[in-house]
Amino acid sequence: MAILEAKKLTKIFGDDPKKAIPLLEKGWSKDKILKESKLTVGVNQAEFSIESGQIFVIMGLSGSGKSTLVRLLNRLIEPTTGQLLFNGSDVLRMNPEQLRQYRRKHIGMVFQKFALFPHRTVIQNIEYGLEIQGIEKKKRREMAMESLKLVGLSGYEDSYPHQLSGGMQQRVGLARGLANDPEILLMDEAFSALDPLIRKDMQDELLELQTKMKKTIVFITHDLDEALRIGDQIALMKDGSIVQIGTPEEILMQPANKYVERFVEDVDLSKVLTASHAMEKAETITIDRGPRVALQFMRDRGVSSLYVVDRSMTLLGLVSAEDAAAALKDSKGLEDVMQKEVPITSPDSLLNELFEMMGNAKLPVAVIDDTGRLRGVVIKGAVLAALAGNGNSLLDGGDSE
């Protein structure tokens, strides 16, 4: 179920913002409206629906309206028109008290430059949201400590923010956002101010936290790699409008227009494509067949080895033509001659990890899903083709699984 849903959510800056709405509906561009009416379009009729438990990434270059859009979601910036439904109730109709409750209980926020209160210690920062709700001191301290532990900073509770590194400060920011256990967490370029290595760590940790806590996260970024790494859904913004919404693969493989295409053309595909995109159909034989059948199969299909599986496609091993021939001579079964050590990987592993693995392996890599079933095989050539940017055909192949 959608936890947060925006309908024609619009923000116009200027003296008489309502004036621009009919112009937007006529489809005028941001530039044209600015020229004709001196009004600036912040967010233009944004439509999206965020599922509970999703990481929804809003991506765009600076000035695209993404930071404005995220602030419309907790009304730090008051939308001009439109609807915003939180679990079905309209956020824009809340009175100040209801809005405060919404912000206190349901929607947390993490800021780009951390925005920690310099006069408060780490733990006092984290418990701020609880303190203003009037939760008594002992209880809120406990909750804040729990949150601090979650981000791995136990022991720093009495430090002041300026005593911590950037990465640590943002962990505190994250802990503060999580302390009152909101359903939704807004993250406004939360990792953009961190250096690249720390940033990657934080992304990993966020994904880990996400699996544990099942929050709905709205993540703003200008970095496509980051968006592709953590997003379940990505909304791409330009000039205040959402240009395309889709999964990372959809954005990459089926760009909605030239803008998206230009945006994604420099993406390092190896960090996005997974084994399931590059894999091919595996040639298999069930274990109860004899070596003679195996050799016949290989001849028919023009291959020199077969994966041995049981009837439910669970991978058991690999048999080569030499193995089969030897088994035939000694009248043995396939299970006696097959190689049981076969390189395997999961459908979700990224091609760049796979590439390293394949560098020193003679055999292709078998792709095994969670239940142990053989889904396909990745050969070196396919990985290279994917990395060369020939992604479209791969995606089609990958989706047919």
Partner 1 sequence: MNLPKIPLADWIESIEKWLENNLGPLFDFISLIIGGTVNGLDDMLRGVPPLVIIALFVVLAWFLGKWKMALFTLIGLLIIENLGLWGPTMQTLALVLTAAIISVVIGVPIGILCANSNVMQRIFTPLLDFMQTMPAFVYLLPAVTFFRLGVVPGVISSIIFAIPPTIRLTNLGIRQVPGELVEAADAFGSTPLQKLFKLQLPIAVPTIMAGINQTIMLSLSMVVIASMIGAQGVGEYVYRAVTQGRTGVGFEAGLAIVILAIILDRLTQKVVQRTEKKS
Closer CB to partner 1, 101 or 247, in the complex: 101
Cα distances from 390 to residues 48, 277, 346, 384, in angstroms, run 31, 11, 22, 9
Q: Are 151 and 172 in contact (CB under 8 A)?
A: yes
Cα distances from 258 to residues 86, 244, 261, 306, 352, in angstroms, run 33, 11, 5, 44, 27
Residue of 230, 228, 167, 169 whose CA lies nearest to 204 = 230
CB of 80 to partner 1, least distance (A): 19
How many positions of this chain bind partner 1 (CB under 8 A)?
A: 27
Residue 336 CA to residue 222 CA, distance in Å, equals 56
Residue of 172, 181, 178, 224 whose CA lies nearest to 57 = 224
Q: Is 391 in the site for partner 1 (CB under 8 A)?
A: no
Q: Is 222 in the site for partner 1 (CB under 8 A)?
A: no
Task: Kindly indicate which of the ranges 32-40, 130-138, 277-285, 305-313 contains the residues binding partner 1, using the contact rule CB under 8 A.
Answer: 130-138
CB of 144 to partner 1, least distance (A): 13
One residue of 115, 145, 207, 357 binding partner 1 per CB under 8 A:
115
- Strands (E) located in 157-231: 184-188, 216-221
CA 273 to chain centre: 13
Q: Is 108 in the site for partner 1 (CB under 8 A)?
A: yes
b or e along 33-52 (b: 16 or more beta carbons within 10 Å of the residue's beta carbon)? bbeebebbbbbbbbebbbee
Closer CB to partner 1, 78 or 401, in the complex: 78
One residue of 32, 35, 100, 299 binding partner 1 per CB under 8 A:
100
User: Within 179-208, which residues bind partner 1 (CB under 8 A)?
Assistant: 180, 186
CB of 42 to partner 1, least distance (A): 16
One residue of 102, 191, 219, 263 binding partner 1 per CB under 8 A:
102
CA 382 to chain centre: 24
Closer CB to partner 1, 131 or 250, in the complex: 131
CB of 111 to partner 1, least distance (A): 6
Q: Is 65 in the site for partner 1 (CB under 8 A)?
A: no
One residue of 119, 258, 311, 329 binding partner 1 per CB under 8 A:
119
CB of 97 to partner 1, least distance (A): 9
Task: Kindly indicate which of the ranges 4-12, 128-136, 149-157, 246-254 contains the residues binding partner 1, using the contact rule CB under 8 A.
Answer: 128-136
- Helix (H) or strand (E) run with residue 83 in it: strand 81-86
One residue of 53, 83, 85, 111 binding partner 1 per CB under 8 A:
111
Q: Is 113 in the site for partner 1 (CB under 8 A)?
A: yes
Q: Is 61 in the site for partner 1 (CB under 8 A)?
A: no
Q: Are 294 and 334 in contact (CB under 8 A)?
A: yes
b or e along 367-391 (b: 16 or more beta carbons within 10 Å of the residue's beta carbon)? bbeeeeebbbbbeeebbeebbeeeb
Task: Kindly indicate which of the ranges 112-120, 136-144, 244-252, 352-360 contains the residues binding partner 1, using the contact rule CB under 8 A.
Answer: 112-120
One residue of 30, 103, 141, 171 binding partner 1 per CB under 8 A:
103
Task: Kindly indicate which of the ranges 31-39, 106-114, 228-236, 342-350 contains the residues binding partner 1, using the contact rule CB under 8 A.
Answer: 106-114
Q: Are 112 and 193 in contact (CB under 8 A)?
A: yes
Q: Is 104 in the site for partner 1 (CB under 8 A)?
A: yes
4 burial (CB, 10 Å; 0-12 / 13-18 / 19+) is buried
For the chain, percent helix, then strand, then coil, each to nearest 5? Answer: 45, 25, 35
One residue of 76, 198, 313, 326 binding partner 1 per CB under 8 A:
76
Q: Is 163 in the site for partner 1 (CB under 8 A)?
A: no
Closer CB to partner 1, 33 or 174, in the complex: 174
Q: Are 172 and 125 in contact (CB under 8 A)?
A: yes
Number of H helices, E strands in the chain: 19, 16
Q: Is 258 in the site for partner 1 (CB under 8 A)?
A: no
Q: Is 131 in the site for partner 1 (CB under 8 A)?
A: yes
Cα distances from 45 to residues 99, 240, 374, in angstroms, run 22, 8, 46
Q: Which residues bind partner 1 (CB under 8 A)?
A: 71, 74, 76, 99-104, 108-109, 111-113, 115-119, 128-129, 131-133, 176, 180, 186
